[in-house]
Amino acid sequence: MITFLSYLCSGISLGSIYAIIALGYSMVYGIAKMLNFAHGDVIMIGAYICFCATQYWGMAPITSVVVAMVVCTLLGVVIERLAYKPLRAASSLAVLITAIGMSYLLQNSALLIWGANPKSFPSVVSIGSISLFDGQLLISGETIVTVLANIVIMIALTLFTGKTKLGKAMRVVSEDKGAAELMGINVNATISLTFAIGSALAAIAGVLLCSAYPALTPTTGSMPGIKAFTAAVFGGIGSIPGALIGGLLLGVIEILGKAYVSTELGDAFVFAVLIVVLLVKPTGLLGKKVHEKV
Amino acid sequence: MSLLKIEDIHVFYGAIHAIKGISFEVNEDEIVTLIGANGAGKSTTLNTIAGLLKPRSGKISFDGKDLSAIHTHKIVSQGMALCPEGRRIFQQMTVRENLEMGGYTRPKTEIPASLDEMFQRFPRLKEREKQIAGTLSGGEQQMLAMARALMSKPKLLMLDEPSMGLAPILVEQIFDIIKELHAAGVTILLVEQNAQMALSVADRAYVLETGKISMEGPADELLHNDAVRKAYLGS
């Protein structure tokens, strides 16, 4: 029982990271109708920046996280402006291929700058672990911070898109760009803002991921990126609660699958679940039915 | 005085030459209508004026300013609003949120008064204030689209096929509202396939035929013109 609970905690912790990454995928998809496959690599860049800030530039962990967020925000906006904006009218296949190219560009740039050897990422979490059931169940500080960060981010984003003028503008742009423009909303600026928020979240996810799984390499972001994308589709792409539920479920399924079924097949398990969900409910768990406009 | 002046604009969709050099103007306090068959370029013209499409050549000036250098999202704050074809209301937002988005460019403090004004003019929208806009009936959606456009307090309101897909009784209602708005001092540029209704409310009219203006004149004159009657009024 205790072992199960401890697996469950790891699952929720990993799932929270997936959820934060999935949010970035989901928001960008919702607004720009594109899959930003470079998103996973922005996570990796965020982790490297944080690593450099703590190890080489002598910054405190919290400042390092902020620096990583700022760099990733700028990176996200620049990627959108340079690579995706010129393709706004192009076919979605062209945009997809560009995103994959961007992903490799980021990975190889990281390889050039930081080399292929894994860096040992120092955890940015300084709070201790909590022990329950007379020390039989240990919940790490990383897990606590990750879950809290996830909750705060979800609430903040829900309030932002539901209550603020800019957030509502984002919803409007995702529904109908032309009509949004007629309202006087700057569509390009709104898309940039979405990339900025998604990339800042990617930095947080990268730091949390590497705090829990410390080996940092140029490909660190790609697998979590793909899994978070899976989580976003699983929960219903374009939906904030969908990203949360998809991420959490995926994390828990992955860890429990690895623990009880097969360590080697853990990842296969994750994607098998995705296939089943998509067969039964193609829009994902919380996905909205898309009305094609005539 | 002319509020909107279009001079020899040409618009292309890729290789298709959709608007082939049209010129017209809308004076303050007028209702001007563009009529014509499906595909004549009526909506293209309105979308170009609103900035959703860019003309390849020609000049559009509004209130004395050249619009070609102004970004689409800034055109609405110049005092022009387009109520687009097919309404294009924000289906997943509430009626109230839709109206608030219509007032996006205006100071927050002015919004409540404008909301009240809209709810007074469109009592049905007041009843449906908290409802998700996608669940409204066609007529209610059209009213919402018009109210949303009016939330920006436009000097010029452009209406693209406001009667499309509506039952005759609702068409009457929509045209009554157009007359009321005109009486309240809003200048209106109306695009309609229902030429009979459009000509009966308008001061002046232009007939568009495959991207060119083929006829123009006072609306009641066109209403009694034989060629117009044959082509657009079915008699």
User: pLDDT tens digits, residue range B157-210?
Assistant: 999 999 998 999 999 999 999 999 999 999 999 999 889 999 999 999 999 999
**Minimal Cβ distance to A185: which of B51, B73, B91:** B73
Residue B188 lies in a domain: no
State the Cα–Cα distance between residues A174 and A193, nearest whole angstrom: 13
Q: Is the pLDDT of residue A165 over 50?
A: yes
State the Cα–Cα distance between residues A152 and A190, nearest whole angstrom: 23
Task: Note whether A216 and A210 are within 8 A (CB).
Answer: yes
Q: How far is A23 from chain B (nearest CA, A)?
A: 20
Residue B1 lies in a domain: yes
Residue B87 lies in a domain: no
Structure confidence by residue, pLDDT tens digits, A180-239:
999 999 999 999 999 999 999 999 999 999 999 999 999 999 999 999 998 998 888 888
Residue B130 lies in a domain: no
Mutation for B interface: A164, A171, A176, A183, most B CBs within 10 A: A183
State the Cα–Cα distance between residues A222 and A38, nearest whole angstrom: 8
Q: How many separate domains does chain B show?
A: 1
Q: Is the pLDDT of residue A135 over 80?
A: no
Q: φ, ψ for residue A186 (rounded to 5)?
A: -80, 100
> How is residue A220 annotated by DSSP?
T
List the one residue out of B183, B182, B201 whose CA is nearest residue B192.
B201
**Minimal Cβ distance to A183: which of B51, B91, B101:** B101
Asked if A182 lies within 8 A of B101 by C-beta distance, the reply is: no
Domain CATH for B218: 3.40.50.300
Residue B97 lies in a domain: no
> Which residue of chain A comes nearest to B92, CA vs CA?
A175
Task: Note whether A9 and A143 are within 8 A (CB).
Answer: yes
Greater pLDDT, A284 or B136: B136
State the Cα–Cα distance between residues A242 and A249, nearest whole angstrom: 10
Asked if A178 lies within 8 A of B81 by C-beta distance, the reply is: no
Chain A neighbors of B95, CB-CB under 8 A: none
Angle (nearest 5°) at CA B156 between B51 and B178: 120
Within 10 angstroms of residue B210's Cβ, the number of other Cβ atoms is 14
Asked if B104 lies within 8 A of A184 by C-beta distance, the reply is: yes
User: What is the C-alpha radius of gyration for chain B, rounded to an integer number of angstroms?
Assistant: 17
Domain span at residue B16 reads 1-76+203-235
Residue B210 lies in a domain: yes
> Which residue of chain B comes nearest to A169, CA vs CA?
B101
Residue B217 lies in a domain: yes
Chain B neighbors of A164, CB-CB under 8 A: none
Tokens of A167: 């957030």
Give all domains of chain A, ordered by start, each with its CATH number.
2-280 (1.10.3470)
Q: Does A178 touch chain B (CB under 8 A)?
A: yes
Task: Write out the E strands in A81-127.
Answer: 119-120
Cα A158 → chain centroid: 16
Among A10-24, A47-61, A259-273, B47-61, which is the least confidently predicted range?
A: A259-273
State the Cα–Cα distance between residues A18 and A12, nearest whole angstrom: 10
